[in-house]
Structure 1
């Protein structure tokens, strides 16, 4: 499957959209935003550019992207007001995602964004008048996106655990999956499966670092938030277990005759949760960045009104994975699949908590 052509978050503002089902990602970003904003502030004080270049890689299409940008602009406004009283003449903000992303959903709310931003600036009594220019920048971040040395700060939240493609090493000479019955690395997977995923991660993350090293200025920083794992064990009661529950959800549909087992055996995720050691090794090997900070965190379970935690997670995963699943299996199974998924998560949460691990990493360009 051509990931770059098919994969995207659900657009629009409907009940299954990413905009309506990204509260978990928003909560995680909020948990570590003090790190993100402090890093941006330090970068600006050090570099003090007249034209500040910021890129959000994997911005998706909900309010999350613009709320983060608003906080970044407010942080720099406050910094210049408190310390140097000199504002950058302009903010250049590049919102990047795959070309399949619903950029129109972002563009439609930009007028309200600019109006609210200007109102907030006036309320704070800031006298400077820096222009904010926001543009969509479609394309994969596994490769070059921007001109040389045009960026000061790069932000990416919950995007880098998505690989550029399903690892080729998951398939034999006849093109059959060697990971039948599982969508990701599971207890029943052979060591070849874990190696295939790790090899693809190494290739992708190394290319990401090489590409960004050309685009960001010396002293510029990247803040990367992504899913990961605690240690070298790929199978845990976190990210890998959520993939296992999705596989079980498909098994229910197979038993009901709604999906053929052969179709399930052919499906694999383009996802990888790296360990800290694996990330540090790639950063060191590529050599263009120094790791300033690395922290691990997880998100506590959350209910919203009458919705259970399982339902919230299932809707979030659907908003992310629907494009890939419907492309392979068709749309008819989606409601039943994710209803099963939510129930399985709730059942397992009654037995023992499921705690996906996240990392926040700060890299400085040497």
Structure 2
């Protein structure tokens, strides 16, 4: 599978678009806002450059894309006010994602966003912001050497550059599952280790010395990679695919030949890789949990859908491109109808959570 040209979040024009189904990701960005503010304030302790260059890796599309930009600019403004520093005259924002991301929707939102910033009534907040899209994999070089002051990525680096090899023993599963043999975990971990090391090495060439990077990703809070905490939502998706096998719509081999390029690291695994690569110092590592259905954690989010349908919609917005490429578009509605049913049944018995890792780094 050529992930560079296959993987993307559902485009804005889709009924189940990422832009309309990313309330989880928005909630996670709010949860990580304080760490982002601290990183910006710490970086600007001795002043900011005239043009502040920042990049968002895995920007996707929709209001979340510009929420990060707005939060970062606001953090710079607050840091300057707090320490009586001169704010940057200009901001250069690079929005990165894979080539099939819905950049058209991003570009349509950019001019009114920038215009609003330039016409703030408070002259202290009036600023120039230049936004450009950067298509490509963040496992490659994306920017000139020592050109970035700040890098951000939320819910992106748990995606691998490719499906790990040697997964023949993972029959009936589509990721690490509770029934997966140790060889499957080893293949996934080794792929993540290579990929995340490459990610850090690429960014180390692009970020200036003392520049900052803040990453939020799905992980796990226990060392056991087969724990339900990180496996179960993909097991429900695999169960939904098995339903179609039972109905004669898919073959068993269709599922056996499909695995997700997705790995949730244990916190200690992540820290060890960062320390081993050695280009960045770890300033802060925090973890937090978010319910699968996090609507009751955020009063702003209003939705009448039951939990199963809500989770199916958010999962479909993220996973559909991979499933459709492998299984075909014909079965997407059926797969996620069954997924909604299984998720509803599961949540009627117990509440499940996503475990999140938030790490703040400084370029050495």
TM tier relative to shorter chain:
over 0.9
- 1:112-146: CA deviations, max 9, x gaps? 21233334x32xx2346531111101110012111
Contact 1:14-1:20 at 8 Å conserved across structures? no
In 2, the alpha carbon distance for the partners of 1:335 and 1:85 equals 54
In 2, the alpha carbon distance for the partners of 1:15 and 1:295 equals 35
Secondary structure, in 3 states, of the residue corresponding to 1:218? strand
Contact 2:117-2:127 at 8 Å conserved across structures? no
In 1, the alpha carbon distance for the partners of 2:73 and 2:303 equals 32
* CA drift at 1:239: 2.9
Whether 1:139 and 2:130 are equivalent positions in the alignment is no
Contact 1:163-1:201 at 8 Å conserved across structures? yes
* CA drift at 1:36: 1.1
Q: What residue is the counterpart of 1:248 in the other structure?
A: 239
- 1:134-170: CA deviations, max 9, x gaps? 1101110012111111111110000000000000232
- 1:200-226: CA deviations, max 9, x gaps? 001000000111111111111110000
Q: 2:311 aligns with which of 310, 313, 316?
A: 313
* CA drift at 1:82: 4.2
In 2, the alpha carbon distance for the partners of 1:223 and 1:269 equals 25
- 1:164-212: CA deviations, max 9, x gaps? 0000232xxxxxx321100011122111110000010010000001111
Task: Please provide the CA RMSD for this pair.
Answer: 1.4
Q: What residue is the counterpart of 1:352 in the other structure?
A: 350
Q: What residue is the counterpart of 2:8 in the other structure?
A: 8
Say how many residue pairs are matched.
357
In 2, the alpha carbon distance for the partners of 1:75 and 1:99 equals 30
So what's the TM-score if we normalise by structure 1?
0.94
Contact 2:178-2:226 at 8 Å conserved across structures? yes
* CA drift at 1:84: 2.6
Q: What residue is the counterpart of 2:298 in the other structure?
A: none
Q: 1:166 aligns with which of 147, 163, 166?
A: 163
Q: After TM superposition, where is structure 1 displaced by more than 4 Å over at least 4 residues in a row?
A: none
Whether 1:294 and 2:282 are equivalent positions in the alignment is no
Structure 1: unaligned runs, 5 residues or longer? 171-176
In 2, the alpha carbon distance for the partners of 1:95 and 1:327 equals 25
In 2, the alpha carbon distance for the partners of 1:309 and 1:252 equals 20
In 2, the alpha carbon distance for the partners of 1:260 and 1:169 equals 21
In 2, the alpha carbon distance for the partners of 1:94 and 1:297 equals 28
In 1, the alpha carbon distance for the partners of 2:82 and 2:36 equals 19
Q: What residue is the counterpart of 1:274 in the other structure?
A: 265
Q: What residue is the counterpart of 2:324 in the other structure?
A: 326
* CA drift at 1:31: 1.4
In 1, the alpha carbon distance for the partners of 2:196 and 2:113 equals 33
Secondary structure, in 3 states, of the residue corresponding to 1:322? helix
Contact 1:162-1:272 at 8 Å conserved across structures? yes
Structure 2: unaligned runs, 5 residues or longer? 296-301
Contact 1:302-1:309 at 8 Å conserved across structures? no
Q: What residue is the counterpart of 1:43 in the other structure?
A: 43
* CA drift at 1:20: 0.5
* CA drift at 1:38: 2.3
Contact 2:54-2:148 at 8 Å conserved across structures? yes
In 1, the alpha carbon distance for the partners of 2:228 and 2:180 equals 16
Whether 1:28 and 2:25 are equivalent positions in the alignment is no
Q: Which moved more, 1:126-135 or 1:227-236?
A: 126-135
Contact 2:114-2:128 at 8 Å conserved across structures? no
Q: 2:154 aligns with which of 134, 157, 167?
A: 157
Q: What residue is the counterpart of 1:59 in the other structure?
A: 59
Matches within 5 A, 1:177-216: 177-216=168-207
* CA drift at 1:314: 1.0
Q: 1:343 aligns with which of 327, 341, 344?
A: 341
In 1, the alpha carbon distance for the partners of 2:106 and 2:24 equals 20
* CA drift at 1:81: 3.7
